[in-house]
């Protein structure tokens, strides 16, 4: 789907964050004592449960809200969330899997060229911002996609967005802009 | 009733004793006979010994089989005399095996398994325990367990100076090492005078044993630092003298022949003057060797042989008891044991709207149907069963308190304290444990 050129850019999704609800109160102490692979954090009031198969870590609150992180795809996140809910159900809670929502997707991508960040920022004000003293990357926010892209001078990108589709679209959108500001050319 | 017991068994027995004694009055108040209490005690002890009986037996075997006797280089010269088998009389049976003199520099052989104490060891032999500590035997010694059933190697040549208080010049060299361990002695050593006559050439063997000496000596000292807890200090007084004297004897210069028939007084006075020169060099060698050996030490095997490695060693029994008893009283423990959970579950009043008892075991379709309830309420057919079978609950359990537990991604580091580990059926009691694991 790279309309700009024929090469394919590898967008690697590194993290998918999702939330869901169990619609019932959860006794964290019971989960902590009986559950397997759990870390109890009473000071914060949550239990971390780690799953191996989809490698995910879930933060479980007593209200029944669960945040599931570490998955590498949206489907995996859902699968992991359901497994988790099943786990809690086995512990004895009347769990109802509801309100599953992927909240955040983090992906990395690498341009085959280096980018001149100052030019890139100049060309794309105010969408792009660059504060080298604060952070070595230029930040490009696409409002309609609600995606944020961080561009590094080496040409590496990290993209965060509400779902994988948005992320892919964001990369495509920003590619031509970056292409203009390639280091060997712009300099 | 229990003669050969390891340090853990000893601790448990002392716990049993304490409990029984404390209950005696209560039992009497209740009107129960003393006999009942004794029955309880016997039952308890027998059950405990049954579960651990193999342990101690195994422990005895392991201990003895790990004894490595290293013969110094010059043993070759004294081949003829020493090929006579090293008689190691056990308490009931006597095993004898020949001394290997094949190797050029060091000859090592292991004591046969099943060896029981007392063990008679000829002079000029370096004993190495399972934990890697070296004990230099310059005088024929008999290694006997302490009355409480201690199993580690005896401190050789202790008895030699003991009967003859000799004014030994204070050892300035290793006071830091000596001072604390000296009050605690590993085992009592009986030194029969007869073997000495049999092995006069062994005295010569002590001459070029200086390279052995460093290893042996600091190891002796360090070994004393970590004595088993149940070691009853049979002879406290001679021990401070024993160590300096021992060292001086082993540092005897080549020119000196130690004839133990003449008594150790001579040796002491003679060696004392000559030791100072070589001691510093020897000490350096010793420290290096000991460091190497220490690296090879395995924490738990050491624990099984010599329990207390840290802290003042003289009251090790008390420490362990104190560590053992409060364990049971603590509310929060790092227990990974399913049994305790049931107790807690019963006490867990608020069920938060869940009927735990009813639904916990029911894996029927009813529950499955309710798993997914999104805006379109899907059926429970989509529910994914746990494909990954949970790792079976092992019997290896550690019950302890924690100092610090740290995790980075999936790497865990544990700093534990005051605990008991049941591993492969055996119990190991520790005051400190450090562990690493990957999840």
For residues A96 and A120, state if they share a domain: no
pLDDT tens digits for range B202-230:
444 444 444 444 444 444 444 444 444 44
Average pLDDT, chain B: 57
Please check whether residue A122 lies inside any domain of the structure.
yes
For residues A124 and A92, state if they share a domain: no
Residue B189 sits at the vertex; the CA angle it makes with B203 and B222, to the nearest 5 degrees, is 85
- The structure tokens listed for B362 are 């029911």
pLDDT at B388 over 60: no
For A118, the domain range is: 111-180
> Concatenated DSSP letters for B357-416?
HHHHH--SHHHHHTSB-SSS---GGGPPP--SPPPPPPS-EEEEEEEEEEEETTEEEEEE
Does B373 contact A23 at a Cβ distance shorter than 8 Å? yes
Residues 6+ apart with CB under 8 A from A179: A4, A113
Q: A168 pLDDT band (50/70/90 cuts)? A: very high
Which of these, B83, B96, B125, lies nearest to B108 by C-alpha position?
A: B125
pLDDT at B390 over 60: no
For residues A52 and A130, state if they share a domain: no
For residues A80 and A149, state if they share a domain: no
Which residue does chain A place closest to B345, by CA atoms? Answer: A30
From A68, A103, A138, give the residue that closes a domain: A103
A22 contacts in chain B (CB < 8 Å): none
Count of domains in chain A? 2
What are the E-state strand segments in B117-266?
Answer: 119-121, 125-128, 134-137, 141-143, 189-190
Does B341 contact A34 at a Cβ distance shorter than 8 Å? yes
Give me the pLDDT at residue A53, please: 83
Residue B217: HSE in the Cβ half-sphere, 13 Å Cα cutoff: 32
CA dihedral B243, B248, B254, B259 (to 10 degrees): -80
Which of these, A154, A159, A155, A156, lies nearest to A141 by C-alpha position?
A: A159
Average pLDDT, chain A: 90
For residues A36 and A62, state if they share a domain: yes
Does B374 contact A26 at a Cβ distance shorter than 8 Å? no
A96 closest CB neighbour out of B363, B371, B407: B371
B354 closest CB neighbour out of A90, A93, A100: A93
Cα–Cα distance measured from residue B263 to residue B253, given in angstroms and rounded to the nearest whole number? 18
B386 closest CB neighbour out of A29, A87, A94: A87
| Burial of B235 (C-beta count, 10 Å sphere; 0-12/13-18/19+) | middle
A82 contacts in chain B (CB < 8 Å): 371-372, 382-384
B window 335-354, beta carbon within 8 A of A: 341, 344-345, 348, 350-354
For residues A77 and A150, state if they share a domain: no
pLDDT at B434 over 50: yes
Please check whether residue A75 lies inside any domain of the structure.
yes
pLDDT at B46 over 70: yes
Q: B80 pLDDT band (50/70/90 cuts)? A: very low
B window 372-401, beta carbon within 8 A of A: 372-374, 382-388, 390-391
B385 closest CB neighbour out of A24, A30, A86: A86
For residues A96 and A24, state if they share a domain: yes
Please check whether residue A4 lies inside any domain of the structure.
no
For residues A127 and A54, state if they share a domain: no
Please check whether residue A11 lies inside any domain of the structure.
no
From A83, A103, A123, give the residue that closes a domain: A103
From A69, A103, A137, give the residue that closes a domain: A103
For residues A87 and A122, state if they share a domain: no
B348 closest CB neighbour out of A30, A53, A89: A30
- Cβ atoms of residues B116 and B91 within 8 Å: yes
Residue A116 sits at the vertex; the CA angle it makes with A159 and A114, to the nearest 5 degrees, is 70
The backbone torsions φ and ψ at residue B135, rounded to the nearest 5 degrees and listed phi first, read -125, 125
- Angle between helix axes B316-329 and B7-30 (nearest 10 degrees) is 60
pLDDT tens digits for range B162-201:
444 444 444 444 444 444 444 444 444 444 444 444 444 4
pLDDT at B379 over 50: no
Q: Which residues pair with B408 in a beta bridge?
A: B411
Give me the pLDDT at residue B144, please: 59
pLDDT at B399 over 60: yes
For residues A159 and A119, state if they share a domain: yes
pTM of the predicted structure, to 2 decimals: 0.48
Please check whether residue A2 lies inside any domain of the structure.
no
Q: Which residues pair with A51 in a beta bridge?
A: A56
pLDDT tens digits for range B121-141:
666 666 565 556 666 666 665
- The structure tokens listed for B326 are 């409060």
pLDDT at B79 over 60: no
For residues A99 and A116, state if they share a domain: no
For residues A142 and A123, state if they share a domain: yes
CATH number of the domain where residue A125 is located: 3.30.310.10
Average pLDDT over residues B36-59: 76
- Cβ atoms of residues A10 and A20 within 8 Å: no
Size of interface A-B (CB pairs under 8 A): 81
Please check whether residue A139 lies inside any domain of the structure.
yes
Average pLDDT over residues A78-103: 88
Please check whether residue A23 lies inside any domain of the structure.
yes
Average pLDDT over residues A90-110: 91
Please check whether residue A187 lies inside any domain of the structure.
no
Q: State whether ipTM is beyond 0.85.
A: no
């Amino acid at each position: 789907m790279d309309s700009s050129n024929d090469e394919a850019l590898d967008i690697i999704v590194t993290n998918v964050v999702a939330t869901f609800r169990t619609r019932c109160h959860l006794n964290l102490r019971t989960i902590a004592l009986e559950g397997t692979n759990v870390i109890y954090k009473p000071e914060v009031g949550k239990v971390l449960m780690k799953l191996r198969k989809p490698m995910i870590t879930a933060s479980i609150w007593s209200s029944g809200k669960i945040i599931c992180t570490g998955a590498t795809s949206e489907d995996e996140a859902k699968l992991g969330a359901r497994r988790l809910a099943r786990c809690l159900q086995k512990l004895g809670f009347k769990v109802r899997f509801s309100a599953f929502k992927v909240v955040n997707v983090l992906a990395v991508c690498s341009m085959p060229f280096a980018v001149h960040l100052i030019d890139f920022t100049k060309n794309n004000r105010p969408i792009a911002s660059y504060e080298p003293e604060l952070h070595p990357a230029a930040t490009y926010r696409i409002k309609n996609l609600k995606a944020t892209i961080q561009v590094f001078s080496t040409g590496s990108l990290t993209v965060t967005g509400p779902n994988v589709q948005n992320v892919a679209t964001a990369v495509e959108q920003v590619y031509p802009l970056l292409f203009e500001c390639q280091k060997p050319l712009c300099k | 009733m229990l003669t050969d017991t390891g340090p853990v068994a000893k601790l448990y027995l002392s716990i049993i004793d304490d409990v029984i004694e404390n209950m005696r009055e209560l039992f009497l108040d209740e009107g129960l006979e003393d006999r009942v209490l004794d029955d309880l005690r016997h039952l308890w002890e027998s059950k405990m010994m049954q579960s651990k009986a193999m342990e101690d037996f195994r422990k005895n075997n392991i201990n003895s089989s790990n004894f490595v006797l290293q013969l110094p280089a010059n043993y070759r010269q004294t081949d003829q005399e020493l090929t006579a088998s090293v008689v190691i009389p056990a308490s009931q049976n006597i095993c004898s095996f020949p001394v290997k003199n094949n190797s050029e520099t060091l000859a090592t052989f292991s004591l046969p398994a099943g060896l029981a104490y007392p063990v008679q060891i000829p002079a000029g032999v370096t004993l190495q325990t399972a934990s890697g500590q070296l004990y230099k035997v310059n005088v024929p010694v008999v290694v006997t367990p302490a009355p409480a059933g201690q199993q580690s190697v005896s401190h050789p040549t202790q008895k030699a100076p003991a009967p003859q208080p000799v004014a030994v010049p204070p050892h300035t060299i290793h006071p830091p090492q000596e001072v604390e361990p000296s009050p605690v002695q590993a085992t009592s050593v009986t030194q029969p005078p007869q073997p000495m006559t049999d092995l006069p050439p062994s005295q010569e063997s002590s001459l070029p044993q200086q390279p052995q000496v460093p290893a042996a000596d600091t190891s002796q000292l360090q070994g004393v630092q970590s004595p088993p807890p149940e070691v009853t200090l049979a002879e406290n007084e001679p021990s401070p003298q024993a160590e300096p004297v021992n060292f001086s004897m082993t540092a005897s210069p080549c020119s000196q022949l130690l004839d133990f028939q003449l008594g150790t007084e001579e040796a002491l006075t003679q060696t004392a003057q000559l030791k100072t020169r070589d001691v510093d060099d020897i000490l350096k060698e010793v420290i290096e060797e000991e460091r190497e050996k220490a690296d090879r030490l395995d924490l738990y095997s050491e624990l099984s042989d010599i329990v207390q490695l840290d802290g003042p060693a003289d009251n090790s029994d008390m420490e362990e008891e104190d560590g053992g008893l409060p364990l049971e009283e603590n509310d929060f423990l790092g227990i990974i044991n399913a049994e305790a959970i049931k107790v807690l579950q019963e006490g867990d009043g608020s069920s938060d709207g869940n009927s735990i008892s009813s639904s916990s075991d029911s894996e029927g379709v009813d529950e499955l149907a309710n798993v997914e309830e999104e805006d379109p309420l899907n059926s429970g057919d989509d529910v994914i069963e746990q494909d990954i079978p949970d790792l079976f609950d092992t019997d290896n359990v550690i019950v302890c308190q924690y100092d610090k537990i740290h995790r980075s991604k999936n790497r865990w580091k544990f700093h534990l304290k005051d605990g008991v580990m049941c591993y492969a059926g055996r119990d190991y009691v520790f005051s400190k444990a450090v562990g690493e694991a990957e999840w």
